[in-house]
Amino acid sequence: MNIKHFLKMKFGFDEFRPGQKEVIESLMSGHHTLAMLPTGSGKSLCYQLPAYLLNKTVLIVSPLLSLMQDQADQLKMNGEKSVLTLNSFLTMNQKRMAFDRLHRYRFIFLSPEMLSLEGVIQSLKSIDIGLFVIDEAHCISQWGYDFRPDYLNLGEVRRELNDPLTLALTATATNEVRQDIVSKLNIGQAKEIVSSVDRENITILIERIHSYEEKQYRLLELVKEFTGSGIIYFSSKRVAEAVTGFLQENGVDSVNYYHGGMEQEQRMLIQQQFISGQLKVICATSAFGMGVNKADVRYVIHFHMPSTMEAYLQEIGRAGRDQKQSVAILLYNDGDEGLPLHLMEQQLPTDNQIEGVCSYLGATGMTLATCTLTEKEHLSQSYSLNEVQLRFFIQLIVATANPLHQVAEMKEYCRKRKFANQEKLQKFLNWIRAKECRRTGVLAYFDEEQQAVNPQCCDNCGMDAKKMEELWPDVKLEHVNSFSTWKEELAFILLKKENGHEK
């Protein structure tokens, strides 16, 4: 089987990117595979090409609706018609029709939450699944930076689907996290394809700032000086909106904000405007980036610091996917670590919440697996649970056991996770404050060594923002059409995409 010939014939590429060929050959040899490939390295090809070679349905589990939708849209634009995205936006009639026709689809995208719904597994059992793909697989690991309790079901899902050939994909995972992924999925001696996390074309800069106001004005300077498209990351929706307004008031026209609190259609519009070049700058939370197919992002700026090295690399990896020189700048003020620490504390329930919820369930005899949406809302309001904390209880309280017997176990679990999160944050903070080469520090975190000297390395190796300006090509912005409402513009963009596909 000449997979390189198939690569050219089906996808139009002459060469594989690093790691892609090894992953595909591993799968075609029948090995469960864990692949760690850098952000922007073309991970989706690692399951798309085998789907045609196996000629069976590929099931792709993904954490974000926007990521699923973008990957599905890309396949459709490349001429693939048998693509299904199972999500909460489908009507009951659409879901019924989709389940009746499951065997007709080559690619089925869905969230881990969908796999926990009654009847979904039974429907999936009726088709021949050639490959089971877990995208952003670090979400499975309790030691991963973006742990999702719903991902814990996937090992059991695999078993119920008769242990199909499995591919776990991630961009950033330490050895500990990779071992946890393999264990949770129960894929035994999975073959690991681990590429370097080093993105050589991204210069890493950290600038020390002394106040919030100074940070705002430094950001304004950078955005006005840099050519090309950029993403500015925030940990707060409110601040992302406020800084967008500040930039607009100070002469930056082609900027808008993006976060999870916006309507789905508005987010789609902003994303498409950025991809097409109508918007130059996006002020975004971490909800923006996954699946955004834009190769010429020249810079990523962090207004707020991420909580881990893994999250930082995931976000800066959205720059320079065209392999041209790009830059990542983190603006750091002493005390900035307080916000990620606060956000991490909200991810897990407190001891009082654990005691209260378990006592309530024990007294009422109610189980979270069978309780209604109204009952879940009542529980959330009574014990001030956010959505993530509620999912924690749904996943970790064993339905057949008395919840009161699990109190000590859950408290210990939360204590360990909180300690691990704080340790990751401290390591990242130490890296920010270090005087040694940034790239060497990143590679050491993932037990790698730098292979060659990088002439545009980092601030500790002599680079700065002024020097970066000289290295970049101009990126022209497309003409901005005039529309009276965002809904009109979204409709125009979607029509433009459809017409492009028809050609």
Q: Domain ranges for the chain, please list them.
A: 3-194, 202-340+425-502, 348-410
pLDDT band at 473 (very low <50, low <70, confident <90, very high): low
Could you tell me where the DSSP H helices lie in 234-285? 237-249, 264-276
Q: What is the per-residue burial (b if ≥16 Cβ within 10 Å, else e) of 247-257?
A: beeeebebbbb
pLDDT band at 26 (very low <50, low <70, confident <90, very high): very high
Among 65-69, 253-257, 404-408, whose mean pLDDT is lowest?
65-69
**Which of 228, 172, 178, 174 has its CA nearest to residue 198?**
172
Query: Which pair of tokens denotes residue 470?
Result: 């000289």
pLDDT band at 475 (very low <50, low <70, confident <90, very high): very low
CATH topology for the 202-340+425-502 domain: Rossmann fold (3.40.50)
Strand order in the sheet with 297-302: 202-209, 326-333, 297-302, 229-233, 281-284, 255-258
Each residue's pLDDT tens digit, 271-320 = 889 988 899 999 998 867 665 778 899 999 999 999 999 999 989 999 99
- What is the pLDDT, as a whole number, of residue 478? 40
Among 103-112, 260-269, 311-320, 443-452, whose mean pLDDT is lowest?
260-269
Helices 351-364 and 373-382: angle between axes, nearest 10 degrees = 140
Average pLDDT over every residue of 204-209: 96
- What is the pLDDT, as a whole number, of residue 130? 94
Cα 76 to Cα 64: distance, rounded to the nearest angstrom: 19
Among 1-10, 409-418, 467-476, whose mean pLDDT is lowest?
467-476
Whether the pLDDT of residue 343 is over 70: the answer is: yes
Cα 228 to Cα 301: distance, rounded to the nearest angstrom: 13
Please tell me which residue, 187 or 287, carries the higher pLDDT value.
187
Cα 284 to Cα 411: distance, rounded to the nearest angstrom: 34
- What is the pLDDT, as a whole number, of residue 476? 39
pLDDT band at 57 (very low <50, low <70, confident <90, very high): very high
Whether the pLDDT of residue 388 is over 90: the answer is: no
Three-class SS of 51-118: HHHHCCEEEEECCCHHHHHHHHHHHHHCCCCCEEEECCCCCHHHHHHHHHCHHHCCEEEECCCHHHCC
Average pLDDT over every residue of 28-35: 95
Whether the pLDDT of residue 501 is over 50: the answer is: no
Cα 192 to Cα 22: distance, rounded to the nearest angstrom: 10
Report for 127-131, 358-362, 399-403: range of highest mean pLDDT: 127-131
Please tell me which residue, 257 or 365, carries the higher pLDDT value.
257
- What is the pLDDT, as a whole number, of residue 178? 92
The 3-state DSSP class for residue 193 equals strand
- What is the pLDDT, as a whole number, of residue 101? 85
Please tell me which residue, 415 or 394, carries the higher pLDDT value.
415
- What is the pLDDT, as a whole number, of residue 489? 54
Helices 309-316 and 407-433: angle between axes, nearest 10 degrees = 60
Long-range contacts: 79-86, Cβ < 8 Å, 24+? 79/501, 80/106, 80/107, 82/106, 82/107, 83/107, 83/109, 84/108, 84/109, 85/109, 85/110, 86/110, 86/111, 86/114, 86/120
- What is the pLDDT, as a whole number, of residue 496? 53
When the pLDDT of each residue in the chain is averaged and rounded to a whole number, the result is 86
Please tell me which residue, 179 or 469, carries the higher pLDDT value.
179
CATH topology for the 3-194 domain: Rossmann fold (3.40.50)
Whether the pLDDT of residue 60 is over 90: the answer is: yes
- What is the pLDDT, as a whole number, of residue 405? 83
pLDDT band at 439 (very low <50, low <70, confident <90, very high): very high
Whether the pLDDT of residue 477 is over 50: the answer is: no
Strand order in the sheet with 83-86: 83-86, 107-110, 57-61, 129-134, 166-170, 33-36, 191-194
Cα 353 to Cα 384: distance, rounded to the nearest angstrom: 8
pLDDT band at 492 (very low <50, low <70, confident <90, very high): low
Query: Which pair of tokens denotes residue 144?
Result: 């991963």
Cα 412 to Cα 482: distance, rounded to the nearest angstrom: 57
- What is the pLDDT, as a whole number, of residue 222? 94
Whether the pLDDT of residue 230 is over 60: the answer is: yes
| Equal fold, 3-194 vs 202-340+425-502 | yes
